[in-house]
Amino acid sequence: MCGIVGYAGGRDVIPVLLGGLSKLEYRGYDSAGVAVVCEGGLIVRKTKGRLDGLRRLVEDCSVADTAGIGHTRWATHGEPSFENSHPHTNCAGDIAVVHNGIIENYLKLKDWLRSEGAVFVSDTDTEVVAHLINYHYRGDLLEAVSKTLPRLEGSYALGVVSSKHPGLIIAARKDSPLVIGAGSGENLIASDIPALLEYTRDVYFLRDGDVAALTRDEIAIYDSYGARARREAYHVDWDVSQAERGGFEHFMIKEIHEEPKAMADTFSPRYRDGHIDISETGIDERLVANIKKINIIACGTAYHAGMVGKYVIEELARIPVEVEVASEFRYRRPIIEPGQLVLIISQSGETADTLAAMREAKQKGAKIAAIVNVVGSSISREADAVFYTHAGPEIAVASTKAYNTQLMAIYMIAVEIARMAGRLEPGAYERLASGLSGLPDLIKKVLETKNVIQRLASGYFSKNSVFFIGRGLDYVLSMEASLKLKEISYIHSEAYAAGELKHGTIALIEKGTLVVAIATQERLLEKTASNIKEVKARGAHVLAVCFEGNKMLENLADEVIYLPKTDDIFAPILAVTPMQLFAYYMAVEKGCDVDKPRNLAKSVTVE
* 484 in active site: no
Minimum Å distance from CB 196 to ligand AGP?
Answer: 20
- The verdict on whether 590 is a catalytic residue reads no
514-518 sheet: strands from edge to edge: 492-497, 465-470, 514-518, 541-547, 559-563
Q: Residue 102 or 397: which CB sits closer to ligand AGP? A: 397
Mind giving me the DSSP string for 304-349? HHHHHHHHHHHHHH---EEEEEHHHHTTS-----TT-EEEEEESSS
CB of 357 to ligand AGP, least distance (A): 11
Beta carbon nearer to ligand AGP, 471 or 602? 602
SS3 482: helix
- Residue 596 CB, shortest distance to ligand AGP, in Å, is 11
CB closer to ligand AGP, 149 vs 302: 302
Closest contact distance (angstroms) between CB of 1 and ligand AGP is 9
Query: Residue 451, Cβ neighbours under 10 Å: how many?
Result: 10
Q: Distance (Å, rounded) from C-alpha 456 to C-alpha 549?
A: 20
| In the complex, minimum distance from the CB of residue 161 to ligand AGP, in angstroms, rounded to a whole number | 30
Cα torsion angle, 192, 195, 198, 199, sign: negative
Of 162 and 399, nearer to ligand AGP (C-beta) is 399
Classify residue 196 as exposed, middle or buried by CB count within 10 Å of its CB (0-12, 13-18, 19+): buried
CA distances to 295, 327, 443, 607 from 331, in Å: 16, 7, 39, 12
Contact between 594 and 580 under an 8 Å Cβ cutoff? The reply is no
Residue closer to ligand AGP (CB basis): 58 or 604: 604
**From 46, 48, 401, 602, the catalytic residue:** 602
Candidates 2, 299, 546, 592; catalytic one: 2
Peptide bond before residue 578 is cis, with ω within 30 degrees of 0: no
* φ and ψ at residue 553, rounded to 5 degrees: -70, -35
Residue whose C-beta lies closest to ligand AGP: 300
Helix axes 473-489, 571-589, angle to 10 degrees: 20
Phi then psi for residue 156, to 5 deg, are -160, 145
- Cβ-count burial of 465 within 10 angstroms (0-12 exposed, 13-18 middle, 19+ buried)? exposed
Q: How far is the CB of 346 from ligand AGP (least distance, A)?
A: 3
Rounded-to-integer distance, Cα 90 and Cα 73, Å: 19
Instruction: Give the three-class secondary structure for 336.
Output: coil
Nearer to ligand AGP, 295 or 550 (CB): 295
- Cα 183 to Cα 180, 203, 562, distances in angstroms: 10, 9, 50
- β strands within 210-251, DSSP E: 211-214, 219-222, 233-235
Least distance between ligand AGP and beta carbon 392 (Å): 14
CA-nearest of 179, 186, 178 to 218 is 186
Residue 127 or 324 with smaller CB distance to ligand AGP: 324
Closer residue to ligand AGP in complex, CB, 134/603: 603
CB of 601 to ligand AGP, least distance (A): 8
What is the number of alpha carbons within 13 Å of residue 172 lying toward its C-beta?
29
How far apart are CB 482 and ligand AGP at their closest, in Å? 12
Give counts: helices (H), strands (E), the chain: 20, 26
Closer residue to ligand AGP (CB): 212 or 604:
604
Give dist(CA 50, CA 27) in Å, integer. 12
Collapsing DSSP states into helix, strand and coil, what is residue 439? Answer: helix
Backbone angles phi, psi at 233, to 5 degrees: -90, 140
Q: Which residues contribute to the site for ligand AGP (CB under 6 A)?
A: 299-302, 346-348, 351, 354, 397-399, 487, 603-604
Amino acid making up residue 166: P
Q: Which is nearer to ligand AGP, 211 or 488 (CB)?
A: 488
Stretch (H or E) spanning 453: helix 450-460
Q: Report the SS3 class of residue 207.
A: coil
Nearest distance in Å: CB 605, ligand AGP: 9
Is the separation of the CB atoms in 242 and 261 below 8 Å? Answer: no
Report the distance separating Cα 303 and Cα 309, nearest Å: 9
Q: Pick between residue 482 and residue 531 the one whose CB is nearest to ligand AGP.
A: 482
Query: What are the residues whose beta carbons fall under 8 Å from the beta carbon of 286, sequence distance 6 or more?
Result: none
Does residue 171 contact residue 189 with C-beta atoms inside 8 Å? yes
Q: Shortest Cβ distance from residue 246 to ligand AGP (Å)?
A: 20
Residues classed as catalytic: 2, 602
